Structure 1
């Protein structure tokens, strides 16, 4: 079914627009030099953000990340680092469902995505949120703050860039976790990365104890982990 076009910037709370979206998807396209063609759509009463081949926010991705958080034990008061903002669909579940009260830092490289997160999904309403426009790897390399929870959800369309499977990235990421801190890695949809993930799990043991969850929501692989405090 081809979606109907709707102009950007219209009132997203329009009852008519929500009602129509149950009958026929409503969408508009936004071009990004970094992310390609992005789609903001009303589908079944909800606004979602998609790339050409994947959901970026508020659809299946929100379900996948919420599943991961529900299987982690983390401090609700600790600072949170989110690598990959998208439309910000995990921000309100963090605040509301998981009752996180600590500051959230969200890192997003694409200024078009940041603009959409503000304009279409009102992430500016989320309390104690700082959005940083930066490359996630560069940010992790330079960051000196420590976090109780790190969420790694970095995609270009439906691909996780290879650097996020690398031990060098994870060794630096481990230094940003507080003792006992938790990490959630959305490791993608493709089983061809299975060997990389096994090497990552083995390479980070025992510094971070990582467990793999396959076909979450029928599609994605997650790595869920906890930082182990060094012994004296």
Structure 2
């Protein structure tokens, strides 16, 4: 399937400043329904019950990056993104913070990853190393080391439980360079599960900042 980015008429781009314009509907390799939309000239990706990407407007990581020193973001050489979506995190880092690291992108859905790569390439964003893989499997076998790790994994509006367990968290920490930054976007649905998750995080990262933004909880830690 050819990326809809290349098929948008000037009229649809203009209309997108008023309302979201649906450009394509598709089933993904892991999602029953994907809706690809243009809103205010930026791409949005939605499933049946959640918005996965919103260009540089993607609020969870816009908020998170405000809590990381700009010099730290500008100095990133290697960045791992677990849960790529359409590349909102990449767009925020390169667009707002002028950070141009080597991006390792992990996305479980083949169609989403294909769309992300084609749109990011069309924006002139390079140094992308894609992996169509389950994030839990990827972190156990990856040999890379990263200055920044971003975890942004959901099914609908829930973080799959395996990504809150110690095995996964320890594996991601192993991939951080000394002094590296680790950020996770978490959605609060159950208070007991959230407390257990926070206990795991704080036992692994003694110095962790917790930011609550509506139903989202953003966790920022240093190695």
* 8 Å Cα contact 1:183/1:225 also seen in 2: yes
Matches within 5 A, 1:1-232: 9=4, 11-27=6-22, 28-58=24-54, 62-73=58-69, 74=72, 76-119=75-118, 121-123=119-121, 125-192=124-191, 193-206=193-206, 209-215=207-213, 218-227=214-223
Mean Cα deviation higher: 166-175 or 75-84: 75-84
Higher helix share: 2
Distance in 2 (alpha carbons) for counterparts of 1:175 and 1:36: 33
Can you give the 5+ residue segments of structure 1 that lack an aligned partner in the other structure?
1-6, 228-232
Does the aligned pair in 2 maintain the 1:77–1:102 contact within 8 Å? yes
- Give the drift of 1:219: 3.2
Which aligned runs of 4 or more in structure 1 are off by greater than 6 angstroms? Answer: none
Residues 118/176 of structure 1: CA separation in 2 closer, same or farther (3 Å cut):
closer
Q: Which has the larger radius of gyration?
A: 1
Residue 208 of structure 2 contacts residue 220 of structure 2 at CA under 8 Å; is this kept in 1? yes
In the alignment of these two chains, the number of paired residues is 216
SS at match of 1:182: strand
TM-score by length of 2: 0.86
The normalised TM-score by structure 1 is: 0.83
Q: CA RMSD in A?
A: 2.4
Specify every segment of 5 or more residues in structure 2 that has no aligned partner in the other structure, as ranges.
none
